[in-house]
Amino acid sequence: CRDELVKAPNIDQLASHSLLFQNAFAQQAVCAPSRVSFLTGRRPDTTRLYDFNSYWRVHAGNFSTIPQYFKENGYVTMSVGKVFHP
């Protein structure tokens, strides 16, 4: 975004009206453990999930997730795309 090497006026315009994160960090090098960490509020060393193939509730235990918490407190929750896997 806003780079002189790449001409991307539409992305630059979107970025000018957005919050732009210059430093972003992930809890784990692969996506599934990072998502589980984000959605449970627990670190990957607590969830014991480090790969793509392990089902997180088997390895981590039956932790409540943010969507579950919202649902239990009267909110309607939905998801589209990759949220948890496998």
pLDDT at 81 over 60: yes
pLDDT of residue 72: 94
pLDDT tens sequence across 6-51: 888 898 888 889 887 888 888 888 888 888 888 888 888 888 888 8
pLDDT at 86 over 60: no
In terms of Cα–Cα distance, which of 75, 31, 51, 53 is closest to 39? 31
Interatomic CA distance for residues 28 and 42, integer angstroms: 12
Predicted TM-score (pTM) of this structure? 0.62
What CA dihedral angle connects 47, 49, 55 and 59, to 10 degrees? -50
Interatomic CA distance for residues 13 and 29, integer angstroms: 30
pLDDT of residue 15: 85
User: Which phi and psi angles does 56 have, rounded to 5°?
Assistant: -65, -35
User: Which phi and psi angles does 68 have, rounded to 5°?
Assistant: -65, -45
What is the set of active-site residues? 31, 85
pLDDT at 74 over 90: yes
